[in-house]
Amino acid sequence: MVHSPVLIDDAGAVRRITVNRPDKLNALNAHTIQALTEAFLAADADPAVRVVVLTGAGAKAFVAGADIAEMADLDAMAGRAFGLRGQTLMRTVETLSKPVIARINGFALGGGLELAMACHLRIAAETAKVGQPEINLGLIPGFGGTQRLLRLSSRAAALELCLLGAPITATRALALGLVNEVVPADELDARVDALTAQLANAAPLALRAILECIVHGGESALGEGLQYEAAQFGLMFATADMREGTAAFVGKRKPIFEGR
């Protein structure tokens, strides 16, 4: 039987994608990057999926980085191509039309932190550690780390993590804005389940519009972002979900959104 580097499980409207290389601390090699890209594209295209959870197999690591053994013999051209494949994965996650939650159960280092930062929400166990240690290998982050650190946190944090290469605790990551919540390790699943239940019951078209506005706005001047938001806001008034949501509010009941 061929070992799959990615596991896919569905529970109702929630799809869980698990990086399945626990013996390698879920390190990202070319095969895993391709399998993850395909898994996210499939989730995006599946109308039954409303929320995606990304995590790593085992108790030690979310993703401990890119596969160093595979990278060691690359030349400049092959290294650039490997970096671009990683960036394609991160961009696929970041621009997904459905919310993606990173369940950070352990080390999220190098490509692992880059992958977590591409997700829309990040929930970390208090035992997790994150960082960009590429400098210790004579490398730099190549899957978008320098750019997303700047956008999620600050110039100071980006310089610290990339120049010093030392991992930081989940609590410090929370203070820097790199994760949304930190919970005890034994409460991680319960918290992620609560979030997925909330998102799975939310209006799918509104969720998609929010994601698009924030991704687009983060890459645009304020005026352009506001115009895009106004257009998306107007489109919501043409949806059955908006009618259901307002009717449920007036009727003091819970809405049932169907993505129409």
Reported as a pLDDT band with limits 50, 70 and 90, residue 2 is low
Residue 71 above 70 pLDDT?
A: yes
Domains of the chain: 6-200 (3.90.226.10), 204-250 (1.10.12)
- The answer to whether 94 is a known catalytic residue is no
Quickly tell me which residue has 């169907």 as its tokens: 258
**More confident site: 73 or 163:** 163
Q: Which of 38, 70, 126, 134 is catalytic?
A: 134
What percent of the chain lies above the pLDDT cut of 90? 87
- The answer to whether 134 is a known catalytic residue is yes
Rounded Cα–Cα distance for residues 173 and 126 (Å) = 10
Q: What is the pTM assigned to this prediction?
A: 0.93
pLDDT digits (tens, 9 = 90+) for 16-29: 999 999 999 999 99
Nearest Cα neighbor of 139 from 80, 84, 62, 90 is: 80
Secondary structure (3-state) at 27 = coil
Nearest Cα neighbor of 105 from 63, 166, 51, 161 is: 63
For the record, the structure tokens of 237 come out as 């008034």
Residue 1 above 50 pLDDT?
A: no
Rounded Cα–Cα distance for residues 170 and 133 (Å) = 16
**More confident site: 259 or 112:** 112
> What is the strand order of the sheet 168-169 is part of?
61-63, 107-109, 129-131, 168-169
For residue 3, the model assigns a pLDDT of: 76
Q: Which of 70, 94, 114, 229 is catalytic?
A: 114
